Amino acid sequence: MDYSAADIEAAQSLQLLAYLYAAMGVFWTYDYACSFEQEWIFLVQSRWSKVKGLYIVTRHVPFFLVIMNLVYLGFTSNESPDKCRIMSDTYSCFGVISLTCSECFFVLRTYALWNRNKIVLVAMITSLFATTVSFISIFLTSITTSYARSQASQGATGAQPLSKVLLPFLLVFVFQVELISLTLICVVRTWRSTKSPLYAILVKHDILYYAIGLLFSTVNILMPVLAPDNAFYTVLEDLQGFLIAILATRMHLYLWRIDQQAVGTGLVCDSWPDTPDLDSIPYV
């Protein structure tokens, strides 16, 4: 059979996408293997709570995304548009669940930094709820699927409207700006009251975790605008979801270890809010 140049280019794009998604699967599995011992200790020794359940969901939902990417959306031929749409919507729902659960950890961390201020908590939850609802509405009402999934299932090129690509990450960007702004306010307050080195305070308030999430949201906003003909930004979208899940769970593990060390030294929970050196104690 003779293939046109467009068919060859599409096949090469599919192959590259398959390699990229396989690389992300390896990256996620490697990260999980590296932190398995710490996570096992946390799961065995920590008390059962809503936060622990949230951790389990956040840490393991991306495995479903990896499997769907590699098996169903990347390597399985499917000529049925209806089945493709169902798979795409299912994938999007898992992605929204993963992103929402990950952001919940940053909400809880910010809530703890603000000494459990109810007004701040309500504001953050309202923003997160609005962002999640918008995500679901955009994904489930979209007529077309993404370039990568459309290619893998139908063998044809189809890109989403630019507005549908940008809006979800614009909402996430605004939400993350809100979180990082609230955190920076706490940083400034601590710096003014303690006169400690600013860098140490930033590290203490886990600002790096917030900054990386904000950076990837910015990249996912700029890529469709700067390179609208390059649909490989869908890989960056999935990569952001994976990284935010990793950052959220690793931050929680780190804070839980601090909590265990504080308990081991005989400090009591009632003293945490009033102890400047322990204002990074987590929300467990």
219-272 per-position pLDDT tens digit: 888 877 776 666 566 777 788 888 999 999 999 998 888 888 776 654 433 333
Evaluate whether residue 281 is within a structural domain: no
Domain that holds residue 108: 5-261
Average confidence score pLDDT of the chain: 77
Q: Where residue 177 sits, what CATH number does that domain have?
A: 1.20.1070
- DSSP H/E element including 85: helix 81-113
Q: Which of 214, 217, 200, 209 is nearest to 254 (CA)?
A: 209
Q: Residue 76's pLDDT is what?
A: 57
Interval 132-162: pLDDT, tens: 888 777 766 654 444 444 444 444 334 455 5
Q: In this predicted structure, which of 64-68, 186-190, 273-277 has the lowest mean pLDDT?
A: 273-277
Q: Residue 229's pLDDT is what?
A: 61
Evaluate whether residue 272 is within a structural domain: no
Q: Which of 32, 206, 8 is nearest to 108 (CA)?
A: 206
Is residue 273 pLDDT above 60, yes or no? no
Give the helix ranges, DSSP H, for 114-232: 118-141, 147-154, 162-194, 198-204, 207-226
Q: Give the mean pLDDT of 162-166.
A: 62
Q: In this predicted structure, which of 53-67, 68-82, 115-129, 250-264 has the lowest mean pLDDT?
A: 68-82
Q: Residue 182's pLDDT is what?
A: 93
Evaluate whether residue 283 is within a structural domain: no
Evaluate whether residue 140 is within a structural domain: yes
**What's the CA gap between 202 and 150, in Å, rounded?**
43
Q: Residue 224's pLDDT is what?
A: 73
How many domains are contained in the chain? 1
Q: Residue 67's pLDDT is what?
A: 84
Evaluate whether residue 13 is within a structural domain: yes
**What's the CA gap between 254 and 19, in Å, rounded?**
32
Q: For residue 77, what pLDDT band results from cuts at 50, 70 and 90?
A: low
Evaluate whether residue 219 is within a structural domain: yes
Q: Residue 169's pLDDT is what?
A: 79
Evaluate whether residue 273 is within a structural domain: no
- Which residues have C-beta within 8 Å of that of residue 248, sequence separation ≥ 6? 58, 101, 102, 103, 104, 105, 106, 209
Is residue 78 pLDDT above 60, yes or no? no
Is residue 51 pLDDT above 50, yes or no? yes
Q: Give the mean pLDDT of 16-26.
A: 81
Evaluate whether residue 275 is within a structural domain: no
Q: Could you tell me what percent of the chain has a pLDDT over 70?
A: 71
Q: Which of 198, 179, 192, 188 is nearest to 110 (CA)?
A: 179
Both structure tokens of 165: 């690509």
